[in-house]
Chain A
């Protein structure tokens, strides 16, 4: 059978219904195109029906559709049918000749809502119809026919009639590359019209996950986007789009929520999100110019619908359990190991007064619940979406709790046919009872040989370790943070003439965060009743308040015009200005008289011996910005695409001589399936080739980075008068400017096998030039470093995403999606600078190097080759000072006969060579099932806490202690018991590869059999989040976000947890 083309766009309900047209010898198809262009009518027809070569010559003035169609269809053998949504369906007059069964039915979406305008087509014939506004249809068909039911944006279903006459059909939504509308900067576009690389994720994919931040929930769902979750409640994940592109500047993407640029999206309820669009290459990001080098994440919140009034309630609740903790030594093993390390019997049997697993002592199963309620709808002239959300989440750390309340009010109004005004307003409030996450590290380090409490109920302690009692610290920590944040945008759009509109939007983002830390007077006691070192003798209180405000004002024109049938032009251009400012106020007192009662804190305690401080300091990220931008999209014959973008950015972050930067990009696209020579092939339903090149910037350098400021308190004495000397003591680059990423991308988009398989493949080459770098300079009186635009960093890689949508039968559909990204990061050049060392291990040593030819933050460590067994062996090999049997034998890499820094080697970095995600969904009747998997491979992590025993008697991992080297043991893998500073070596470098099941979900949708159901839709579901992790890493978690030069180091432990939950989603 022939390919059935649907010439259809989402129907618009209002608009001009009187037609003024003139045709001269015009073909019918062309005439229909002209009508579509000049009206709100759209035509649906099988292109095989229009076979005649009749040319039409006619003219109409203010004519109705009926008049026009009457003339056009004369002699064609066609009839038409007008739907409520201005859809015009053409059909053959003679269908009755072959019809012998009358069937009817109703087509609905996945939620049971009527789909009006859905197409019902008899397979292999020209017979068909479409549904009315109630989703109902009736048509006369051959008895043995198969029906193809399709609707834009939904998966098609094929049903055989087999004697039935009534059909209730539910369609599942799909995203087809060709027609999906996606959000781009300052506008929207059809995905098929884009020349850039971007990913769009629907809000419905993330609403049911227990994630505070929407980015957490899209982990594994977008190629090229690496999301690293620390797992700590309330924390934002770290996001890298197409690799790490800076050393000292920012590496996180830009977030834009409803057009407003922001840095933190933790205030947004995932249930309010309509879509998340990730822009990856210069063609798509250059519209954000100096801030786009790390990619852009656009978030759009929901709007109401003019045709549907909906109440939606979604709730879930569950429990989070600690699933992976490292086994620590028990009291006896700890004592043996410590005594051996100290080479003295420092811990005696009598010192063991208890046995505590400190993780058990400070953790618990944590309960969480989340509720979202939204009301949305609209009438002719307005639409609204109103929602409220409440999240209450306990931490797995005892007494740790986080609560968030969100409200959202989104409206838009058509004041006249040309003027629209709208708003998106979000408000959030949070309250967090904080317990320091460092307690997990304390629990790792604490000696296991005493109890949490003494027999008399006081906090216990030991004098055999200086870590103290983590439980006592937890219970005496009184720390809360709470705050409010309001974000609001008011926008207006005016259509100046058809095709040309002007939009202005003004947004504010204001937040206030408050917090206190109070430590009461307390003590811990040794079992013999003596007060131990861990105590607080003076109650102290610290109170802080942050206020931040940020406004953005966008003004831009959009001109969207079809010039005849061949040319389509869309221009967007305008101006934006922005301001962010903030201050922190901090007050503290440590006089011991602060009562342990927050209601009695009035912050007017007298300044006694403890002192009182009140300080106001600016919040680092304050700026002014101003930009001009223009974008031109030109499409020729719907198959050749050109997209040119240019943005000029001014920023207060840069020196006066470099305030302004220019960021151009150009993209080209070719929809190959639109070519004549592709008409007869059946392999591709859709095939597009696109490529782009452009310059985008990274301006995250902090305010005043180019500006010299004096150092104070350089004292001297003149007589008895102390002079507070002040002077400049360094050098800053007065020409400091943004980093420039030069990005090239080439990609293919396709859809094949009857649109069942869709995919995208991209190759990218991102060269960050002028990257900020610290150049070490000789001491000549101007400090020891110079920060300037000196480095080049290359990220190149390949991204592949594939999607498979299929319908097995009318009861069973499934979809599979997978994506994989290969990335290679390399520092290409560091100018006159030298290697940078970072990745502090907390013991004075560093673990990473950033240098030419290597990845940013590559681990730089000694290579070990077994363990010295005897003194003779130590003496026989080059070794570090004080090396002794039981220590690592270090490879003399440069063969100079001694072991020093030059013998270290590059041991890989935290940046994965490949990362991937896999999502599956399966629907059978009313049952649905989902699975999300995420993983990465080829990276390394540094297990630093394992080597952090120096100083005091810290506890040690059970395996490390059990398998330690002993004289004569001949063991060659774990070192002897020791208390010293650990040598930076590959012993601590482990594989960072892992595969994780992010989420497993099962749901059931109830269907009401009543005529007037109490609800439109009711779904109950169960989720397991993070139930399995496959990783060879011996620490807590291989997901270890950090700065560009110090990622992947586990110094502070944070155990992994899994959550199990039940939820309900009901729509009225």
Chain B
């Protein structure tokens, strides 16, 4: 019938028009209107650099390397007091100093969060990098960097909390989140770090160009793995890594210990890994690192927290040049002519975190100053070398390594005979060489001396409870208590 043909024709055309408009496969897809992941990954010129840059970025974070980190790694120890003014709490730094903290302490929560954020960014970088269309050598280097950085963030976590959740990939669903919200053991975390570091050693370059300063090298991965091995008492492993670092001829001690902590000492021959802070516009510093520790009083520079203890001051041998390079005193005229106020509330302040406003790069930005944080330096490699040689019963080799540091400090070489005496000498040397380098508290625990040392100072340190810090209660709550608490903090 002609009628039905006509209808059929009209109807078919109409359906066709609807199809053209809406039945395109892409009709229900909106193009994103921000920078997309694809846009980032597919950018061959700087996509990978921006990805890895985001992981490095966490090294500058307040939560990772500043106030709370000082609280946990330093103020808790015999090296430092809370500082500041009587009555200020530093949020919870007073409780860290007196060991009256609990799982609700903000410092524990901040450091946990900051380091895990670094781990999350590394996980995303490691997810995307293998798919990116960049030269393989370049890609390998970025992968090595991401793995080393991830191991570093875990290094901080495992020393504070023991076993923590192991994030070895990007979490993508509620099921993933639930599965990840449980703790791996400390051993599992160490093993995870070692896998990362072994691979990083293979992938990272031996030396870093001036234009890449701040990026990590093979030496940085070896140094971290050496320290990780030391903590696990894997003496031979640590020794071979130290030997490799020494044999690489990339590093040597800087003659003047005091200069190490100044701008002129940045990326020196001794430097293995530094966080590259810049005090000129655009600033990028470790947030608040300088200002929270700078001396107070009339004409003061900062908040005066993490103040060196008298105990530390007295721990230096007479004539040890390192004491006055580490500790500044009330009323002292500093190297750049700045007078520490006579009204400063504390006797001592941390000299290693000091930034000269007149003699170094400083554009008025207190919060983001040019202070590079020295994460690994050759001096510590010599300390690890000395310790592992001694543990392997080669006191001679231990002495050779240790005396290089003593001589630089203006002291006589030691000539100790017994392994035990040598061990104690190394421990003491480690304390004064590494003071305020975020090492002391963990070192005391590693060597089993925390209880005796702190109890002697009147602190009610209880082992085993205090051999780990508490898992932040806030994180446990958010995991519906799937993340278990450490012994003694329940």
Interface residues of A (CB under 8 A from B): 496, 502, 504, 553, 555, 575, 577, 617-618, 622-626, 650-652, 656, 659, 703-704, 707-712, 714-729, 731, 733-735, 775-782, 784, 786, 788, 832, 834
Contact = CB atoms under 8 A, between A and B. Distances in A.
B86 interface: no
B213 A780 contact: no
B14 A728 contact: no
Contacts of B256: none
A864 to B, nearest CB: 26
Interface of B: 7, 11, 14, 18, 21-23, 27-30, 32-37, 40, 49-57, 59-60, 112-113, 116-121, 123-125, 165, 167, 170-174, 177-178, 180-181, 209-215, 276-278, 282, 284, 475-480, 483
A270 B293 CA distance: 67
A722 B279 CA distance: 12
B40 A710 contact: yes
B284 A722 contact: yes
Contact of B211 (A625, A711, A718): A718
B478 A626 contact: no
Contacts of A496: 7
Contacts of B118: 781
A704 B35 CA distance: 12
Contacts of B476: 778
A825 B54 CA distance: 45
A575 B214 CA distance: 60
Contact of B121 (A553, A623, A781): A781
A780 B37 contact: no
B37 A710 contact: yes
A626 B28 contact: yes
B28 A782 contact: no
B177 A786 contact: yes
B478 A715 contact: no
Nearest to A650: B28
A725 B171 contact: no
Contact of B28 (A624, A717, A718, A720): A624
10 contacts: A624-B27, A626-B23, A710-B37, A715-B57, A720-B278, A726-B54, A782-B170, A782-B171, A784-B113, A832-B480
A727 B28 contact: no
The winner among A502, A718, A723, A727 for most chain B CB atoms within 10 A is: A727
Contact of A724 (B30, B50, B60, B181): B50
A717 B278 contact: yes
Contacts of A786: 174, 177
B36 to A, nearest CB: 6
The winner among A652, A656, A777 for most chain B CB atoms within 10 A is: A777
Nearest to A583: B33
A258 B50 CA distance: 51
Given A504-B14, A781-B120, A782-B120, A719 B32 contact: no
B289 to A, nearest CB: 15
Given A717-B284, A733-B174, A555 B21 contact: no
A233 B55 CA distance: 50
Contacts of A719: 209-214, 276
Nearest to B29: A652
Contacts of B284: 715-717, 722
The main secondary structure of chain B at its interface with chain A is helix
Contacts of A728: 37, 124, 170
Given A727-B124, A729-B121, 20 more contacts: A626-B28, A704-B33, A709-B34, A709-B37, A710-B36, A714-B54, A718-B213, A719-B214, A720-B278, A723-B49, A725-B50, A727-B125, A728-B37, A729-B117, A731-B177, A734-B172, A778-B479, A781-B119, A782-B171, A784-B478
Given A710-B40, A781-B120, A652 B18 contact: no
Given A650-B28, A734-B172, A781-B116, A716 B276 contact: yes
A716 B177 contact: no
B215 A718 contact: yes
Given A555-B14, A722-B284, A775 B174 contact: yes
Contacts of A832: 174, 178, 480
Contact of B18 (A577, A718, A781): A577
A577 B19 CA distance: 10
Given A553-B21, A782-B120, A622 B30 contact: yes
Contacts of B54: 711, 714, 716, 725-727, 729
A775 to B, nearest CB: 7
Contacts of B116: 779-781
The main secondary structure of chain A at its interface with chain B is strand
A723 B478 contact: no
Nearest to B122: A781
B187 to A, nearest CB: 20
Contact of B112 (A555, A717, A779, A782): A779
Nearest to A553: B21
Given A496-B7, A777-B478, A779-B117, A708 B37 contact: yes
Contacts of B50: 723-727
B88 to A, nearest CB: 15
A725 B37 contact: no
Nearest to A712: B35
A1016 to B, nearest CB: 44
B35 A710 contact: yes
Contacts of A555: 14, 18
Contact of A778 (B119, B123, B478): B478
Nearest to B482: A778
Nearest to B109: A779
A714 B30 contact: no
A806 B476 CA distance: 68
Nearest to B210: A719
A891 B173 CA distance: 42
Nearest to A709: B34
A720 B279 CA distance: 11
Contacts of B165: 778, 780
Across chains A and B, which 3 residue pairs bring their CB atoms closest together, nearest first? A781-B120, A725-B53, A725-B54
Contacts of B30: 622-624, 652, 703-704
Contacts of A708: 37
B116 to A, nearest CB: 4
Nearest to A775: B174
A724 B52 CA distance: 10
A786 B175 CA distance: 12
A900 to B, nearest CB: 11
Contacts of A779: 112-113, 116-117, 475, 478
A709 B36 contact: yes
A733 B214 contact: no
A716 B278 CA distance: 10
Contacts of B178: 832
Contacts of B212: 718-719
A715 B55 CA distance: 9
Contacts of B21: 553, 577
A731 B479 CA distance: 15
A722 B53 CA distance: 9
A652 to B, nearest CB: 4
A651 B28 CA distance: 6
B255 to A, nearest CB: 25
B119 to A, nearest CB: 5
B28 to A, nearest CB: 5
Nearest to B51: A727
A709 B282 CA distance: 25
A651 B125 CA distance: 31
A622 to B, nearest CB: 6
A764 B271 CA distance: 73
Contacts of B483: 778
A780 B171 contact: yes
B266 to A, nearest CB: 12
A612 to B, nearest CB: 20
A555 B213 CA distance: 65
A835 B270 CA distance: 52
Contact of B173 (A502, A617, A733): A733
Nearest to B280: A720
Contact of B180 (A651, A652, A775, A780): A780
